[in-house]
Amino acid sequence: MNTSVLSTDLPQEMKHAVDEAVRLLAAGDVVALPTETVYGLAADALNAEAVAKIFAAKERPSFDPLIVHLPHKKDLDTVADVPEGIVPVIKKLTERFWPGPLTIVLPKKPCVPDIVTSGLPTVAVRASQNLVFNRVARTLDKPLAAPSANRFGSISPTSAAAVKMELDGRIPLILDGGACHHGLESTIIKVEPAAPKPLITILRPGPITPEDLKVFGRVQLASKSKDKPEVPGQLPSHYAPRTPLRIIERPSDFIPEHGKTYALLSYRGEESDGYLGLHEWKAMHILSPGKGKLPEAAVRFFYALRQLDQAGADEIIAEPVAERGLGIAIMDRLKRAASKA
């Protein structure tokens, strides 16, 4: 299969790219599209045979459910039921964060195929704010299932070039919408009625932080990963480079092995942090030079990890970041990347 890449930079390019993507999706095929988080591999969410092509292209296990992306946030009731006890808080959350990188888990409607939800009675739903994705979804006028456009378990793609590297020859089309704005997959939550405030459980950390959510209810992080996830991104090993990765909590913990080469994933790139001078690194990427800004680090995270994976080192050494705010999501991805067997 030949994989085409179409630009969306100019108005005429956008129209042609959207038309071609819609043509393929309507015919039951898959297309890689940019979102504000990472690039997604999209198919008509209500067409089980089309969704099966996502699993085949990604080599994704059938027990790992997908997120459904709505053409408009008003379309929520076409794929999900909102339990009466949480209607007010769901309304507030969608008004505040949709379109955007917040995914909500709700009871699914019968029209959503079991392959999308891995047989679970719930469906994970969001509305993307990416212009290209929106144009495609609204022109097709159907919800799209769209997990990250990479082979299962590997580094999520934040550019069309990264998608091409992962899925070339496996899918017919990639729409190039430039670099992704957030760089980490959406925050996934479930909401339960409780007094005095609803209980919001973060099933996967992401760009919408606990601080962002606490005005809407009592917020907690899910206890631990499951062998059979209820939402994407819960497997212990995920987002992993091919090169082994290890998180070094303190510089003094790093003892290099003779004859091995190492690459460094640095948070701030500051000598005072103690990591830069530890070794003659084969390669190094800095997530947020100087002050260590978490939003910048999040945007660069998957790109930097992919570059270090291609550097030819025997092992990647990663500095930790503080687990607060967006740092919770970064460390979640980093720990899963380091858990590869």
> 291: which 2 tokens?
């002050």
Q: Is 213 within the bounds of a domain?
A: no
155 within a domain of the structure (yes/no) = yes
Q: In the chain, pLDDT over 90 holds for what percent of residues?
A: 92
Boundary of a domain, candidates 129, 144, 176: 176
Residue 66 covered by a domain: yes
**Do 132 and 53 fall within a single domain?**
yes
Q: Which amino acid is at 233?
A: G
- % of the chain residues with pLDDT over 70: 98
**Top-confidence residue, 274 or 238:** 274
Q: Are residues 257 and 171 in the same domain?
A: no
pLDDT bin (cut points 50, 70, 90) of residue 229 is confident
Least confident of 26-30, 225-229, 248-252, 316-320: 225-229
| Residue 341 pLDDT exceeds 50 | no
Same domain, 41 and 135: yes
Above 70 in pLDDT, residue 27? yes
State the average pLDDT over residues 77-100: 97
Both 64 and 156 in one domain: the answer is yes
Query: What value does the mean pLDDT take over residues 288-294?
Result: 90
Q: What is the pLDDT of residues 90-121, one digit of tens each?
A: 999 999 999 999 999 999 999 999 999 999 99
| Domain match, 30 and 120 both | yes
* Whether residue 137 sits in one domain with residue 46: yes
Domain interval for residue 120: 4-77+107-176
172 & 71 share domain:
yes
Residues 259 and 164 in one domain: no
Task: Work out the average pLDDT over 21-40.
Answer: 98
**CATH number of the CATH domain containing 306:** 3.40.50.11030
**Residue 317 resides in a domain:** yes
For position 279, what pLDDT does the model report?
Answer: 94
Same domain, 143 and 12: yes
* Mean predicted lDDT score pLDDT of the chain: 95
* pLDDT at residue 223 in the model: 82
86 found inside a domain: no
Report, as an integer, the average pLDDT of 43-58. 97
Is the pLDDT at 227 greater than 70? The verdict is: no
Q: What is the pLDDT of residue 290?
A: 85
Tell me the two tokens of residue 326: 């967006």
Q: What CATH number does residue 131 fall under? A: 3.90.870.10
∠ CA(263), CA(264), CA(266), 5° rounding? 165
Give pLDDT, residue 15. Answer: 98
Domain boundary pick from 118, 151, 176: 176
For residue 58, being part of any structural domain is answered with: yes
Band the pLDDT of 226: cuts 50, 70, 90: low
Has residue 202 been placed in a domain? no
Q: How far apart are CA 262 and CA 272, in angstroms?
A: 20
Shared-domain flag, residues 18 and 129:
yes
Q: Counting beta carbons within 10 angstroms of the beta carbon of residue 74, is it exposed (0 to 12), middle (13 to 18) or buried (19 or more)?
A: exposed
What residues contact residue 179 under an 8 Å CB cut-off, 6+ apart?
A: 158, 159, 299, 303
Last residue of a domain, one of 176, 196, 223: 176
Q: Is residue 285, in this structure, part of any structural domain at all?
A: yes
Q: What is the pLDDT of residue 340?
A: 65
Angle at which helix 160-167 crosses helix 294-309, to 10 degrees, equals 40
Based on the structure, what is the number of domains in the chain?
A: 2
Residues 148 and 270 in one domain: no
Tens digit of pLDDT for each residue in 127-180?
999 999 999 999 999 999 999 999 998 999 999 999 999 999 999 999 999 999
282 lies in the same domain as 154:
no
